[in-house]
Structures are given as structure tokens and as C-alpha cells.
Amino acid sequence: MASTETMAPTVPPLTILTENERDIAEGVYQFAVETIGPKSAQMDRDNHIDPDLVKQFFDLDLMGIEIPEEFGGLGQNFGTAIAVIEALARVDAACAVVVDVQNTLVANAILRWGSPELKKKYLPQLAKSKVASYALSEAGSGSDAFALATTAAKKGDKWVLNGEKLWITNGLEAELFLVFANADKSKGYKGITAFFVESSWKGFTKGKKEDKLGIRASSTLALSFEDLEVPEENVVGKVGEGYKIAIETLNEGRIGIGAQMLGIARAALDYSTKYVKQRVQFGKPLAEFQAIQHELARMDMELECARLAVYNAARMKESGRPFLREAAIAKLKSSEVAEMCASRGLELLGGYGYVKDYPLEKLYRDCKIGKIYEGTSFMQLGTIAKEVLRREIP
């Protein structure tokens, strides 16, 4: 029952997905089991993703799922991206993060707010060759995301960026960065502007790589900018529109986080179920004890509720309807369910659950970030509460 075993890639009927989405997700899961699974534990220990895997993500068009085919992407919908992220996270959440950030945050932002010139130049790179990252957070602006200290000053036909960023996912592998800086502090958050930056430009420095609890193969870096010159044409959207871009991309990104958490929860349930069917105590398999059956039932029930929340939010986004509340619910619920499933699954394995030879220990570490990044659980509760209080109750 060690984690090096290959689990049978059983995939239940995903009735909330279209046939096309289901086929793509099942193919990605098979790939993940065969290719990522054997490397997962070592990448976790090394705190580093295998570069060959990243190349394969590009080769399989997983880094440009919504990017139109004319730019080299897969040309699929948002639901497909979410299904792919969930499928990857069932095997390795860190790999899912790499694909998630590329698709739901960066590519989405360029597709929605990039000029025709930016799209023509960068979408093919995002789809086929270059990892991207999303640089919003700073030491003094976490949940208060718009307390940015990074500045942008106009200098001729360029903008000059100065400042530092923290907790930047994909930072080590990325060559392209969506960076948020304040172009006019007198306007507060309305001065925030988004820039698309290349890490090879003078004045761009990658700093400390964080040694994290979970999703360790996914790199998290500090960045610094010292008189970094950015061409005028690399402004994403309009000057002062950065706050809107950040809010809306993070709303979409939270659905991606929800998909990551679904994958972790499903992996915990699958492995726990397999284990209790084989583990014999008091003369019979653990699965024959009613208390164990009830644990599995509760895990399965909560996972189904979380899955419905995540894909409901994805469908609302696709249909052009407001989905602020739904995205918050999806992220909050799925992160809680992932933690519950990983924790209870670990306990079902007993002492084996607590050691690194079995996968529950890693799943337990990987799920914790779901309550923290792209908006803490406290922030999601606040968002949901505001929407509740806006209701007119007869």
C-alpha cells in the first residue's frame, strides 16, 4: 500500500462535465498517473518540479487551455481548464498549481485585457513555451491586496517599476510576469496598473525561494524591481485599471483553487477506500466496520457538495453571469473538504498515514494552502456575508 504503487485510474461518471470535458480530464488523469505519479514524492522532497514535466504540459496544450487555436492554444472553455486542474491535483497538487496559475490567472488576464499586439506577441508563448506568473502580493499587502508599495513612474514611452513582491507562485520557472504596481499613489487603489513583464529585462531580480509545508514542487519566490523599464505597450488594460483586473482574475482563480482542492480530496478518499478494503483488523477488513463506512460516506458526501459548488461557479463564469459569491463559496467549501478528507483519511490509515511512505501525509500538507492563497478563508467568508446582507428580504 505504499505511495509508489500505481492506483487504478478509476474515474467516476462526471455528469457535471460535458463529454468533451470529461474525455480531456480522463486523458489528463491517465497521463498524470503514469508520468507524474512516479516522480511526485521525489519532487516533494527536492522542493522542485521536474523540468521535463513542464515541457510535457506545453506539449499536451495544458498551459493554454483557453487560448484560441490561432495563437497555438487548445481553444477550450473555462470548464475544461477546471476539469484539467482537478485531474492533475488528484495525482500531484503542485503540478496542478503550475497549470492553474498559467491558465486561470495570467492567460485569462491577457485574453480579456491585453491589447491585440500583446495577444499576438505573448499568447503563443504562453501556450507553447513560457511559464508565467502573477505578481500581486507584497510583504505589506496580503489580504489587503491593494496596499501596494511597488511603484510605476512614467518615463517617456516607458514605465519604470520599483519595489518588491512576495509569495510569487511559479516564480522560479516563469519567464513572463503579470505585475501590479501603483502608477499614482494619490489615487489609492485606483492608481494600480497591470504590466506584463519579462524576467530577462534589466532590473528584474528573482529572490529567495520559500521552503514550504506543502505543494513543495511548486516554486514560491520573492521578486524585486530596481528601475525596471517596461514598454508602454506592455500595460495590460488601461492605466489605473489594475485593481479591476486583479479582482476579476482572482475571482476566476479561486475556482481554480477549488479544483485543486477537489483533486486532493478525491485522492484522499480513493486511497483511504482502497486501504480499508485491504487492511485487516480483528479478523476482518476495516471496510466491514460501520464506523469506517460512515467516515467514507461523509467524505464522499462533502466532496460531492464541493464539486457541485466548484463547477457551478465555473458555469456561471462561462455564461457571463456574476459569480463573486459562487467563487468564494467554491474556494471556501472545497478547501475545507480537502482538509477534512485528508485528515480523516490519514486517521483511517493509523500510523501508516503519518509516514511519508504513504500518500496521506503529503495530501494533508498540500491541502492547507487552499485556505490561504488567492484569498484566505476569512476573506471568502466576508465576501459571502456581504452578498447575503445585500439581499432584499420580503
The 10s digit of each residue's pLDDT in 134-166 is 999 999 998 887 889 999 999 999 999 999 999
Give the model's confidence band at 6: pLDDT under 50 very low, under 70 low, under 90 confident, else very high: very low
Give the model's confidence band at 8: pLDDT under 50 very low, under 70 low, under 90 confident, else very high: very low
Do 292 and 378 belong together in one domain? yes
Tell me how far apart the alpha carbons of residues 367 and 6 are, in angstroms, rounded to a whole number.
21
Do 268 and 360 belong together in one domain? yes
DSSP string for residues in 222-258: EEEEEEEEEEGGGEESSTT-HHHHHHHHHHHHHHHHH
Mean pLDDT of 347-360: 97
Chosen domain end from 95, 130, 165: 130
Do 322 and 304 belong together in one domain? yes
Chosen domain end from 184, 213, 240: 240
Do 121 and 144 belong together in one domain? no
Do 140 and 176 belong together in one domain? yes
The set of residues, in sequence order, having a beta carbon less than 8 Å from that of 206 and lying 6+ positions away, is 171, 172, 199, 221, 222, 223
Give the model's confidence band at 40: pLDDT under 50 very low, under 70 low, under 90 confident, else very high: very high
Number of structural domains the chain divides into: 3
Handedness of CA 100, 104, 110, 111 (dihedral sign): positive
Residue with cell 468564494: 328
Do 166 and 264 belong together in one domain? no
Chosen domain end from 240, 259, 275: 240
Do 97 and 226 belong together in one domain? no
Residue 181 has pLDDT above 70, yes or no: yes
Do 298 and 354 belong together in one domain? yes
Percent of the chain with pLDDT over 90: 94
Do 383 and 275 belong together in one domain? yes
Using alpha carbons only, what angle is made at residue 72 by residues 116 and 67, rounded to the nearest 5 degrees? 60
Nearest partner of 333 among 261, 227, 239, 388, judged by Cα: 261
From residue 367, give the alpha-carbon distance in Å to each of 168, 311, 337, 377.
18, 19, 9, 13
pLDDT value for 301: 98
User: What's the mean pLDDT when you consider all of the chain?
Assistant: 95
Own/partner pairs, 273-279, CB within 8 angstroms, 24+ separation: 274/1, 274/7, 275/1, 275/348, 275/349, 275/352, 276/348, 278/1, 279/1
Do 249 and 359 belong together in one domain? yes
Residue 1 has pLDDT above 60, yes or no: no
| Helix, coil or strand: residue 60 | coil
Known catalytic residues? 374
Tell me how far apart the alpha carbons of residues 271 and 42 are, in angstroms, rounded to a whole number.
19
pLDDT, one tens digit per residue, over 204-251 is: 999 999 999 999 999 999 999 999 999 999 999 999 999 999 999 999
Domain that holds residue 75: 19-130
From residue 87, give the alpha-carbon distance in Å to each of 30, 47, 264, 310.
9, 22, 9, 14
pLDDT value for 12: 47
Tell me how far apart the alpha carbons of residues 29 and 85 are, in angstroms, rounded to a whole number.
10
Do 105 and 177 belong together in one domain? no
pLDDT value for 143: 86
pLDDT value for 15: 62
Mean pLDDT of 101-127: 98
> pTM of the full predicted structure?
0.95
Q: 236 in a domain, yes or no?
A: yes
Tell me how far apart the alpha carbons of residues 370 and 368 are, in angstroms, rounded to a whole number.
5
